[in-house]
A and B are shown apart, each in its own frame.
Chain A
Amino acid sequence: MNEKHKERKIRQALESVTDPELPCINIVDLGMLDIVEVRGGNVEIQLLPTFSGCPALDLIKNDVVSAVRKAAAEVDGIEDVDVRFVYHPPWTTDRISPQGRENLKEYGVSPPPADHKEGEPWKVDCPYCGSAYTTMENIFGPTACRSILYCQSCKNPFEAMKPVANM
Protein backbone atom coordinates (compact mmCIF):
# COMPACT_ATOMS: atom_id res chain seq x y z
CA MET A 1 0.00 0.00 0.00
CA ASN A 2 1.59 3.28 -1.00
CA GLU A 3 1.43 6.46 1.09
CA LYS A 4 -1.23 8.20 -1.00
CA HIS A 5 -3.43 5.18 -0.59
CA LYS A 6 -2.85 5.13 3.15
CA GLU A 7 -3.74 8.79 3.35
CA ARG A 8 -7.02 8.09 1.56
CA LYS A 9 -7.79 5.29 4.00
CA ILE A 10 -7.14 7.58 6.94
CA ARG A 11 -9.30 10.34 5.49
CA GLN A 12 -12.08 7.80 5.16
CA ALA A 13 -11.62 6.71 8.75
CA LEU A 14 -11.88 10.32 9.92
CA GLU A 15 -15.37 10.52 8.44
CA SER A 16 -16.46 8.69 11.59
CA VAL A 17 -15.35 11.59 13.80
CA THR A 18 -18.01 14.19 14.52
CA ASP A 19 -18.09 17.51 16.29
CA PRO A 20 -19.64 16.62 19.70
CA GLU A 21 -21.59 19.87 19.60
CA LEU A 22 -22.93 19.11 16.11
CA PRO A 23 -23.11 15.31 15.96
CA CYS A 24 -24.83 15.42 12.55
CA ILE A 25 -21.70 16.41 10.68
CA ASN A 26 -18.28 14.79 10.53
CA ILE A 27 -15.08 16.80 10.67
CA VAL A 28 -14.26 16.11 7.02
CA ASP A 29 -17.59 17.51 5.79
CA LEU A 30 -17.23 20.38 8.25
CA GLY A 31 -13.98 21.33 6.53
CA MET A 32 -11.85 20.97 9.66
CA LEU A 33 -9.50 18.41 8.17
CA ASP A 34 -6.72 20.12 6.27
CA ILE A 35 -3.70 17.86 5.87
CA VAL A 36 -3.16 14.13 6.24
CA GLU A 37 0.42 13.16 5.58
CA VAL A 38 1.92 9.71 5.92
CA ARG A 39 5.69 9.50 6.20
CA GLY A 40 6.95 6.02 6.91
CA GLY A 41 5.16 4.88 10.04
CA ASN A 42 4.06 8.39 10.96
CA VAL A 43 0.78 10.12 10.22
CA GLU A 44 0.60 13.83 10.66
CA ILE A 45 -2.88 15.35 10.77
CA GLN A 46 -3.57 19.05 10.71
CA LEU A 47 -6.98 20.28 11.79
CA LEU A 48 -8.44 23.77 11.48
CA PRO A 49 -10.38 24.82 14.58
CA THR A 50 -13.78 26.35 13.78
CA PHE A 51 -14.03 28.93 16.56
CA SER A 52 -10.84 29.48 18.55
CA GLY A 53 -12.49 29.19 21.97
CA CYS A 54 -14.33 26.00 21.06
CA PRO A 55 -14.26 23.72 24.13
CA ALA A 56 -14.76 20.62 21.95
CA LEU A 57 -11.28 20.80 20.39
CA ASP A 58 -9.59 18.47 22.89
CA LEU A 59 -12.37 15.90 22.51
CA ILE A 60 -12.14 16.07 18.72
CA LYS A 61 -8.39 15.58 18.90
CA ASN A 62 -8.79 12.47 21.07
CA ASP A 63 -11.44 11.07 18.72
CA VAL A 64 -9.15 11.65 15.73
CA VAL A 65 -6.32 9.75 17.43
CA SER A 66 -8.65 6.82 18.26
CA ALA A 67 -10.05 6.73 14.71
CA VAL A 68 -6.55 6.62 13.21
CA ARG A 69 -5.44 3.88 15.64
CA LYS A 70 -8.49 1.85 14.66
CA ALA A 71 -7.77 2.35 10.97
CA ALA A 72 -4.14 1.42 11.57
CA ALA A 73 -5.32 -2.11 12.15
CA GLU A 74 -6.11 -2.27 8.42
CA VAL A 75 -3.40 0.07 7.17
CA ASP A 76 0.00 -1.55 7.42
CA GLY A 77 2.88 0.14 9.11
CA ILE A 78 1.17 3.05 10.87
CA GLU A 79 2.83 3.41 14.24
CA ASP A 80 2.49 6.98 15.34
CA VAL A 81 -0.10 9.69 14.92
CA ASP A 82 0.43 13.37 15.53
CA VAL A 83 -2.61 15.67 15.56
CA ARG A 84 -2.14 19.42 15.47
CA PHE A 85 -4.48 22.40 15.29
CA VAL A 86 -3.30 25.05 12.87
CA TYR A 87 -4.76 28.43 12.01
CA HIS A 88 -3.57 28.65 8.46
CA PRO A 89 -5.66 28.74 6.40
CA PRO A 90 -8.31 30.05 8.79
CA TRP A 91 -11.40 27.84 8.87
CA THR A 92 -14.24 29.47 6.95
CA THR A 93 -17.78 28.27 6.37
CA ASP A 94 -17.25 27.87 2.63
CA ARG A 95 -15.19 24.79 3.55
CA ILE A 96 -18.36 22.89 4.54
CA SER A 97 -19.15 20.26 1.88
CA PRO A 98 -22.53 20.04 0.09
CA GLN A 99 -23.20 16.81 2.02
CA GLY A 100 -22.32 18.57 5.27
CA ARG A 101 -24.74 21.38 4.47
CA GLU A 102 -27.54 18.84 3.87
CA ASN A 103 -26.75 17.09 7.15
CA LEU A 104 -26.87 20.36 9.08
CA LYS A 105 -30.25 21.20 7.58
CA GLU A 106 -31.68 17.79 8.47
CA TYR A 107 -30.47 18.31 12.02
CA GLY A 108 -32.42 21.58 12.19
CA VAL A 109 -29.45 23.94 11.80
CA SER A 110 -29.51 26.12 8.69
CA PRO A 111 -26.18 26.01 6.88
CA PRO A 112 -24.40 29.33 6.34
CA PRO A 113 -24.51 30.97 2.91
CA ALA A 114 -21.81 29.36 0.76
CA ASP A 115 -20.15 32.57 -0.44
CA HIS A 116 -20.54 35.10 2.36
CA LYS A 117 -18.52 38.35 2.34
CA GLU A 118 -17.76 40.46 5.41
CA GLY A 119 -20.49 42.96 6.22
CA GLU A 120 -23.00 41.67 3.69
CA PRO A 121 -26.56 41.06 4.84
CA TRP A 122 -27.04 37.44 5.68
CA LYS A 123 -30.22 35.69 4.54
CA VAL A 124 -31.19 32.47 6.28
CA ASP A 125 -33.97 30.15 5.16
CA CYS A 126 -35.91 28.05 7.63
CA PRO A 127 -34.45 24.49 7.71
CA TYR A 128 -37.94 23.04 8.30
CA CYS A 129 -40.24 24.73 5.76
CA GLY A 130 -37.71 26.52 3.55
CA SER A 131 -39.33 29.93 4.04
CA ALA A 132 -37.16 33.03 3.72
CA TYR A 133 -39.50 34.90 6.10
CA THR A 134 -37.28 34.53 9.17
CA THR A 135 -36.02 36.87 11.87
CA MET A 136 -32.75 36.89 13.80
CA GLU A 137 -33.38 36.47 17.52
CA ASN A 138 -29.75 36.33 18.66
CA ILE A 139 -26.58 36.28 16.55
CA PHE A 140 -25.03 34.28 19.39
CA GLY A 141 -26.51 30.87 20.11
CA PRO A 142 -25.92 27.82 22.31
CA THR A 143 -22.42 27.35 20.90
CA ALA A 144 -19.94 29.83 19.45
CA CYS A 145 -20.68 28.75 15.88
CA ARG A 146 -24.47 29.06 15.96
CA SER A 147 -27.18 31.76 15.95
CA ILE A 148 -30.83 31.60 17.03
CA LEU A 149 -33.60 32.52 14.56
CA TYR A 150 -37.37 32.32 14.28
CA CYS A 151 -39.44 31.30 11.27
CA GLN A 152 -42.43 33.60 10.82
CA SER A 153 -44.02 31.14 8.37
CA CYS A 154 -44.03 27.84 10.26
CA LYS A 155 -43.55 29.50 13.68
CA ASN A 156 -40.57 27.36 14.63
CA PRO A 157 -37.49 28.62 16.38
CA PHE A 158 -34.36 27.25 14.75
CA GLU A 159 -30.61 27.63 14.67
CA ALA A 160 -28.23 28.61 11.90
CA MET A 161 -24.50 28.35 11.56
CA LYS A 162 -22.82 31.75 11.53
CA PRO A 163 -21.10 32.58 8.27
CA VAL A 164 -17.35 32.96 8.74
CA ALA A 165 -15.48 34.48 5.83
CA ASN A 166 -11.87 35.29 5.21
CA MET A 167 -11.48 38.93 6.13
Chain B
Amino acid sequence: MTEWKETEENKSVLVELLYQLADDNFIHAHRGSEWLGLAPHIEEDVAFSSINQDTMGHAVMYYRLLEELGEGKIDDLSHMRDFSEYRNAIILEEKNGPGEYTEQPDYDWAFTVIRHLFYDTAKKIRLDSMKQSSYEPLAVTARKIVTEQYYHLLHWQLWFKQLMQSTDEARSRMEAAIERVWRDFGGVLTLGPNGGKMAEAGLVEGEELLRKRWLNRIEGLFAEVNMSMPEEAPGMAKGNGRKGEHTEDLPEAINTLAEVYKSDKDAVSW
Protein backbone atom coordinates (compact mmCIF):
# COMPACT_ATOMS: atom_id res chain seq x y z
CA MET B 1 0.00 0.00 0.00
CA THR B 2 0.97 3.64 -0.18
CA GLU B 3 3.15 5.43 2.31
CA TRP B 4 1.54 7.35 5.18
CA LYS B 5 1.40 11.09 4.68
CA GLU B 6 0.55 13.16 7.72
CA THR B 7 -1.87 15.63 6.14
CA GLU B 8 -4.91 17.11 7.88
CA GLU B 9 -7.23 15.15 5.63
CA ASN B 10 -5.42 11.86 6.12
CA LYS B 11 -5.47 12.33 9.87
CA SER B 12 -9.17 13.05 9.86
CA VAL B 13 -10.04 9.89 7.89
CA LEU B 14 -7.68 7.88 10.10
CA VAL B 15 -9.58 9.08 13.18
CA GLU B 16 -12.87 8.24 11.48
CA LEU B 17 -11.70 4.70 10.68
CA LEU B 18 -10.44 4.18 14.24
CA TYR B 19 -13.82 5.21 15.67
CA GLN B 20 -15.53 2.66 13.43
CA LEU B 21 -13.15 -0.08 14.54
CA ALA B 22 -13.25 0.85 18.23
CA ASP B 23 -17.02 1.28 18.42
CA ASP B 24 -17.74 -1.92 16.46
CA ASN B 25 -15.62 -3.98 18.85
CA PHE B 26 -16.88 -2.17 21.95
CA ILE B 27 -20.57 -2.67 21.31
CA HIS B 28 -20.08 -6.17 19.91
CA ALA B 29 -18.18 -7.25 23.04
CA HIS B 30 -20.92 -5.77 25.22
CA ARG B 31 -23.74 -7.62 23.46
CA GLY B 32 -21.70 -10.79 23.69
CA SER B 33 -21.12 -10.28 27.40
CA GLU B 34 -24.87 -10.11 27.95
CA TRP B 35 -24.96 -13.86 27.28
CA LEU B 36 -22.97 -14.49 30.45
CA GLY B 37 -24.81 -17.18 32.42
CA LEU B 38 -27.38 -17.58 29.63
CA ALA B 39 -25.38 -19.36 26.93
CA PRO B 40 -26.65 -22.79 25.83
CA HIS B 41 -24.24 -24.69 28.06
CA ILE B 42 -21.40 -24.17 30.54
CA GLU B 43 -18.61 -24.78 28.01
CA GLU B 44 -20.10 -22.11 25.77
CA ASP B 45 -20.32 -19.73 28.71
CA VAL B 46 -16.59 -20.21 29.30
CA ALA B 47 -15.68 -19.86 25.62
CA PHE B 48 -17.93 -16.89 24.91
CA SER B 49 -16.61 -15.02 27.98
CA SER B 50 -13.05 -15.40 26.69
CA ILE B 51 -14.07 -14.19 23.25
CA ASN B 52 -15.84 -11.15 24.70
CA GLN B 53 -12.87 -10.35 26.91
CA ASP B 54 -10.55 -10.47 23.88
CA THR B 55 -12.94 -8.34 21.83
CA MET B 56 -13.20 -5.71 24.55
CA GLY B 57 -9.39 -5.75 24.60
CA HIS B 58 -9.41 -5.01 20.86
CA ALA B 59 -11.73 -2.05 21.44
CA VAL B 60 -9.30 -0.77 24.10
CA MET B 61 -6.41 -0.97 21.63
CA TYR B 62 -8.26 1.13 19.05
CA TYR B 63 -9.49 3.67 21.64
CA ARG B 64 -5.89 3.96 22.84
CA LEU B 65 -4.76 4.87 19.32
CA LEU B 66 -7.43 7.58 19.35
CA GLU B 67 -6.22 8.79 22.73
CA GLU B 68 -2.68 9.00 21.35
CA LEU B 69 -4.02 11.13 18.50
CA GLY B 70 -5.40 13.61 21.02
CA GLU B 71 -9.06 12.60 20.85
CA GLY B 72 -9.45 12.46 24.63
CA LYS B 73 -9.24 10.00 27.50
CA ILE B 74 -9.87 6.40 26.61
CA ASP B 75 -12.71 5.88 29.15
CA ASP B 76 -14.39 9.10 28.06
CA LEU B 77 -14.19 8.09 24.42
CA SER B 78 -15.93 4.81 25.10
CA HIS B 79 -18.45 5.98 27.69
CA MET B 80 -19.15 9.68 27.44
CA ARG B 81 -19.67 10.60 23.80
CA ASP B 82 -23.05 11.63 22.39
CA PHE B 83 -24.85 8.66 20.89
CA SER B 84 -24.78 10.31 17.47
CA GLU B 85 -20.97 10.28 17.60
CA TYR B 86 -20.76 6.48 17.71
CA ARG B 87 -19.70 4.98 14.38
CA ASN B 88 -20.50 1.30 14.94
CA ALA B 89 -22.70 -0.63 12.52
CA ILE B 90 -26.34 -0.80 13.60
CA ILE B 91 -26.57 -4.60 13.40
CA LEU B 92 -23.94 -4.83 16.16
CA GLU B 93 -25.86 -2.64 18.62
CA GLU B 94 -29.09 -4.63 18.37
CA LYS B 95 -30.21 -6.45 21.49
CA ASN B 96 -29.69 -10.20 21.65
CA GLY B 97 -33.44 -10.74 21.70
CA PRO B 98 -36.60 -9.83 23.60
CA GLY B 99 -36.46 -9.16 27.34
CA GLU B 100 -33.74 -7.62 29.48
CA TYR B 101 -30.56 -9.16 30.79
CA THR B 102 -31.84 -9.06 34.35
CA GLU B 103 -35.47 -9.74 33.49
CA GLN B 104 -36.74 -12.58 31.34
CA PRO B 105 -34.04 -12.55 28.71
CA ASP B 106 -35.46 -14.51 25.79
CA TYR B 107 -32.35 -14.18 23.69
CA ASP B 108 -31.90 -15.60 20.22
CA TRP B 109 -28.90 -17.92 19.89
CA ALA B 110 -29.24 -18.38 16.12
CA PHE B 111 -29.14 -14.59 15.66
CA THR B 112 -26.04 -14.42 17.85
CA VAL B 113 -24.24 -17.20 15.98
CA ILE B 114 -24.93 -15.61 12.58
CA ARG B 115 -24.12 -12.07 13.72
CA HIS B 116 -20.84 -13.23 15.25
CA LEU B 117 -19.88 -15.44 12.30
CA PHE B 118 -20.58 -12.68 9.78
CA TYR B 119 -18.88 -9.99 11.86
CA ASP B 120 -15.81 -12.03 12.76
CA THR B 121 -15.37 -13.07 9.13
CA ALA B 122 -15.50 -9.41 8.07
CA LYS B 123 -13.19 -8.45 10.92
CA LYS B 124 -10.57 -11.02 9.89
CA ILE B 125 -10.64 -9.82 6.27
CA ARG B 126 -10.23 -6.19 7.37
CA LEU B 127 -7.42 -7.10 9.80
CA ASP B 128 -5.54 -9.00 7.10
CA SER B 129 -5.75 -5.88 4.97
CA MET B 130 -4.71 -3.51 7.77
CA LYS B 131 -1.62 -5.59 8.55
CA GLN B 132 -0.13 -3.65 5.62
CA SER B 133 -1.67 -0.33 6.65
CA SER B 134 0.34 2.80 5.87
CA TYR B 135 -0.23 3.97 9.44
CA GLU B 136 2.26 1.80 11.33
CA PRO B 137 0.51 1.85 14.77
CA LEU B 138 -2.63 0.52 13.06
CA ALA B 139 -0.65 -2.19 11.23
CA VAL B 140 0.98 -3.27 14.51
CA THR B 141 -2.43 -3.39 16.23
CA ALA B 142 -3.92 -5.47 13.42
CA ARG B 143 -1.06 -7.97 13.58
CA LYS B 144 -1.64 -8.41 17.31
CA ILE B 145 -5.43 -8.80 17.08
CA VAL B 146 -5.29 -11.28 14.22
CA THR B 147 -3.48 -13.84 16.42
CA GLU B 148 -6.59 -14.02 18.61
CA GLN B 149 -9.15 -13.63 15.88
CA TYR B 150 -8.21 -17.04 14.49
CA TYR B 151 -9.77 -18.78 17.51
CA HIS B 152 -12.93 -16.69 17.45
CA LEU B 153 -13.59 -17.51 13.86
CA LEU B 154 -13.07 -21.25 14.42
CA HIS B 155 -15.58 -21.08 17.23
CA TRP B 156 -18.43 -19.50 15.24
CA GLN B 157 -17.79 -21.65 12.21
CA LEU B 158 -18.22 -24.73 14.38
CA TRP B 159 -21.58 -23.51 15.74
CA PHE B 160 -22.70 -22.51 12.26
CA LYS B 161 -21.93 -25.88 10.69
CA GLN B 162 -23.47 -27.84 13.54
CA LEU B 163 -26.72 -25.90 13.79
CA MET B 164 -27.18 -25.67 10.02
CA GLN B 165 -27.02 -29.47 9.83
CA SER B 166 -28.95 -30.27 12.98
CA THR B 167 -32.76 -30.50 13.42
CA ASP B 168 -35.33 -28.89 11.13
CA GLU B 169 -36.10 -26.37 13.82
CA ALA B 170 -32.44 -25.39 14.17
CA ARG B 171 -32.11 -25.03 10.41
CA SER B 172 -35.19 -22.84 10.07
CA ARG B 173 -34.11 -20.62 12.98
CA MET B 174 -30.66 -20.25 11.46
CA GLU B 175 -32.12 -19.38 8.05
CA ALA B 176 -34.37 -16.76 9.64
CA ALA B 177 -31.32 -15.31 11.41
CA ILE B 178 -29.36 -15.19 8.15
CA GLU B 179 -32.20 -13.28 6.51
CA ARG B 180 -32.39 -10.82 9.39
CA VAL B 181 -28.66 -10.15 9.72
CA TRP B 182 -28.24 -9.91 5.94
CA ARG B 183 -30.72 -7.02 5.75
CA ASP B 184 -28.42 -4.86 7.87
CA PHE B 185 -24.99 -6.34 7.39
CA GLY B 186 -24.11 -3.79 4.73
CA GLY B 187 -23.58 -1.49 7.72
CA VAL B 188 -20.57 -3.53 8.83
CA LEU B 189 -19.12 -3.88 5.34
CA THR B 190 -19.15 -0.17 4.60
CA LEU B 191 -16.30 2.14 5.62
CA GLY B 192 -18.66 5.10 5.53
CA PRO B 193 -18.74 8.27 3.42
CA ASN B 194 -14.93 8.59 3.48
CA GLY B 195 -14.06 4.96 2.72
CA GLY B 196 -12.48 5.97 -0.58
CA LYS B 197 -10.15 8.43 1.13
CA MET B 198 -9.15 5.79 3.69
CA ALA B 199 -8.07 3.53 0.83
CA GLU B 200 -6.24 6.40 -0.92
CA ALA B 201 -4.33 7.11 2.27
CA GLY B 202 -3.29 3.45 2.34
CA LEU B 203 -4.98 2.82 5.70
CA VAL B 204 -6.97 -0.16 4.46
CA GLU B 205 -7.90 -1.56 1.06
CA GLY B 206 -11.03 -0.36 -0.72
CA GLU B 207 -14.48 -1.22 0.58
CA GLU B 208 -15.51 -2.98 -2.63
CA LEU B 209 -12.54 -5.32 -2.59
CA LEU B 210 -13.12 -6.21 1.07
CA ARG B 211 -16.83 -6.72 0.45
CA LYS B 212 -16.08 -9.09 -2.42
CA ARG B 213 -13.72 -11.10 -0.23
CA TRP B 214 -16.38 -11.32 2.45
CA LEU B 215 -19.03 -12.51 0.02
CA ASN B 216 -16.65 -15.15 -1.36
CA ARG B 217 -15.85 -16.40 2.11
CA ILE B 218 -19.51 -16.57 3.15
CA GLU B 219 -20.41 -18.30 -0.10
CA GLY B 220 -17.81 -20.96 0.70
CA LEU B 221 -19.23 -21.48 4.20
CA PHE B 222 -22.80 -21.62 2.87
CA ALA B 223 -21.80 -24.19 0.22
CA GLU B 224 -20.53 -26.53 2.95
CA VAL B 225 -24.00 -26.67 4.50
CA ASN B 226 -26.01 -26.57 1.29
CA MET B 227 -27.28 -23.04 1.72
CA SER B 228 -27.78 -20.71 -1.22
CA MET B 229 -26.70 -17.08 -1.15
CA PRO B 230 -29.40 -14.39 -0.82
CA GLU B 231 -30.02 -12.65 -4.14
CA GLU B 232 -29.77 -9.13 -2.82
CA ALA B 233 -26.60 -7.49 -1.56
CA PRO B 234 -26.31 -7.09 2.25
CA GLY B 235 -28.32 -3.97 3.11
CA MET B 236 -28.64 -1.14 5.59
CA ALA B 237 -32.36 -1.40 6.29
CA LYS B 238 -32.15 0.48 9.60
CA GLY B 239 -29.63 3.09 8.54
CA ASN B 240 -25.90 3.69 8.37
CA GLY B 241 -24.11 3.70 11.71
CA ARG B 242 -20.97 5.07 10.01
CA LYS B 243 -22.93 8.33 9.58
CA GLY B 244 -24.02 8.36 13.22
CA GLU B 245 -27.44 6.85 12.54
CA HIS B 246 -28.54 4.48 15.30
CA THR B 247 -31.52 2.72 16.85
CA GLU B 248 -32.73 3.08 20.43
CA ASP B 249 -30.73 -0.05 21.28
CA LEU B 250 -27.50 1.99 21.25
CA PRO B 251 -28.38 4.43 24.07
CA GLU B 252 -29.73 1.46 26.06
CA ALA B 253 -26.38 -0.32 25.70
CA ILE B 254 -24.17 2.70 26.42
CA ASN B 255 -26.26 3.76 29.41
CA THR B 256 -25.90 0.28 30.86
CA LEU B 257 -22.17 0.20 30.19
CA ALA B 258 -21.53 3.71 31.47
CA GLU B 259 -23.80 3.69 34.52
CA VAL B 260 -20.97 3.30 37.04
CA TYR B 261 -18.52 5.54 35.20
CA LYS B 262 -21.05 8.35 34.89
CA SER B 263 -21.93 8.22 38.57
CA ASP B 264 -18.35 8.02 39.88
CA LYS B 265 -15.35 8.34 37.61
CA ASP B 266 -12.99 7.06 40.30
CA ALA B 267 -14.92 3.83 40.62
CA VAL B 268 -13.13 2.38 37.59
CA SER B 269 -9.64 2.78 39.05
CA TRP B 270 -7.99 -0.23 40.64
Contact = CB atoms under 8 A, between A and B. Distances in A.
Interface in B124-176: 140-141, 143-148, 150-151, 154-155
Given A90-B143, A118-B150, A140-B155, A51 B57 contact: yes
Given A51-B148, A53-B55, A139-B151, A87 B47 contact: no
Interface in B30-50: 43, 46-50
Contact of A139 (B49, B60, B143, B154): B154
B53 A53 contact: yes
Nearest to B141: A87
Given A58-B270, A144-B53, A138 B58 contact: no
A54 interface: yes
Contacts of B43: 137-138
Contact of A164 (B53, B57, B147): B147
Size category, B interface = 20 to 34
Contacts of A2: none
A119 B124 CA distance: 14
Contacts, number: 74
B54 A52 contact: yes
Interface in A148-167: 148, 162, 164-167
Given A52-B61, A52-B145, A167 B53 contact: no
Contacts of B154: 139
Interface residues of A, number: 27
Contacts of A54: 53, 57
B66 interface: no
B56 interface: yes
Contacts of B47: 138-140
Contacts of A142: 46
B interface SS class:
helix
A141 interface: yes
A84 to B, nearest CB: 11
Nearest to B124: A167
B21 interface: no
Nearest to B29: A53
A139 B144 contact: no
A49 to B, nearest CB: 8
Interface in B49-100: 49-51, 53-58, 60-61
B144 A90 contact: yes
Contacts of A144: 50, 53-54, 148
Given A139-B154, A144-B54, A164-B147, 7 more contacts: A53-B60, A58-B270, A90-B143, A91-B144, A139-B151, A140-B50, A143-B50
The 8 closest A-B pairs by CB, nearest first: A53-B57, A52-B57, A140-B47, A53-B53, A87-B144, A140-B50, A88-B140, A90-B144
Interface of B: 43, 46-51, 53-58, 60-61, 140-141, 143-148, 150-151, 154-155, 270
Interface of A: 51-55, 58, 87-88, 90-92, 118-119, 137-144, 148, 162, 164-167
16 contacts: A51-B57, A53-B53, A53-B57, A54-B53, A139-B154, A140-B47, A140-B50, A140-B51, A140-B155, A143-B50, A148-B46, A164-B147, A165-B147, A167-B143, A167-B147, A167-B150
